[in-house]
Amino acid sequence: MSNEPESAPQERVISLQAISQNFLGAVQRQFDLLSYNLAAAQQVSAENYENFAHLVKIMPVGQLHQNFALVRDYARELLVRQTLNDLVNMSAACMDNCHLLCLLIREQDPSKPAGGAVAEDVQKRVQERQNAFARASLNEKFEALERDFGIMCGTEDALIALAIGLRSLVVRDGEVTKEDVNEDEELVFEFKTVQVIAPPADAAPDKKPEVRVVDTRRTFRVGDRIELSNSELLGLSVTVTAFFHDLFQSVDDFGTKTLGKKPAAGAAAASGQ
């Protein structure tokens, strides 16, 4: 047995800047990988598929080898499901991080510098509340953020629809049922796209087109199957990015209101959390 004393738990500083950099970087990587996979799927051919299938001259169970069309369709379904899964999980994780930061901000003494050590009883109280939040559903997370910190996001409905769509894809291969739709009997996906508006005919020659980020919608009803185009899949990543910006702004506003200043320096938390 070692005679060396156990090291005390280390503390890490949680800041809004670090959270935003982490998740904005993650959603861009997800977008880039999705773009690559879409491009690769567009280039693959039946010949290329069979060449790779026979590359090692043997298959696990050759008589069950599937043809190109079947595998192509299955790969597409898997890509759609994985895209929604990644975006929903990323959004939930971002909410977890922001919730922890808000808890720490609320417990912070405004008269003391940010990033200072948190008392043991405070750490325990924060940990219990954070654990409960981490176990909550996406709906419950939104409710808790609004109830406890006044945090609201205009993109909440879009995120809830993503989670419902993911459940439908996993449980029923994407078939929409009554439990998936809203009071209008619709499941609505929202996508962020760019609209380029040309200048009027009588505008000055050097007048540039106006570029706007706009919302487009795709509605599914009971009995429909969730199928998304390439541009819609990519648009979902941009929708989640808009959600992140909404959430970060709301957390920043909460920190400013609570501390009387922006919570840029962050708050300390035990690394074991």
Taking residues 142-162, report their average pLDDT.
92
Q: Does the reported pTM lie above 0.75?
A: yes
State the residue for tokens 């800047």.
17
pLDDT (0 to 100) of residue 201: 76
Domain ranges of the chain: 11-257
Taking residues 162-171, report their average pLDDT.
94
pLDDT (0 to 100) of residue 150: 93
pLDDT (0 to 100) of residue 117: 57
Q: Label residue 146 by pLDDT band (50, 70, 90).
A: very high
Q: Which residue has the higher pLDDT, 226 or 202?
A: 226
Q: Which residue has the higher pLDDT, 265 or 42?
A: 42
Q: Give the separation between CA 212 and CA 146, rounded to whole angstroms.
A: 29
Task: Give pLDDT tens digits for 103-141.
Answer: 999 887 555 555 555 667 778 888 999 999 999 999 999
Average pLDDT, the chain: 86
Taking residues 46-75, report their average pLDDT.
93
Task: Evaluate if residue 270 carries a pLDDT over 60.
Answer: no
CB 202 within 8 A of CB 209: no
Taking residues 193-210, report their average pLDDT.
76
Task: Evaluate if residue 1 carries a pLDDT over 50.
Answer: no
- The two tokens of residue 146 are 């609004």
Q: How far is CA 246 from CA 61, 98, 136, 204, in A?
A: 50, 12, 20, 36
Q: Which of 17-26, 91-100, 107-116 has the lowest mean pLDDT?
A: 107-116
- The two tokens of residue 21 are 């950099």
- The two tokens of residue 12 are 């890490």
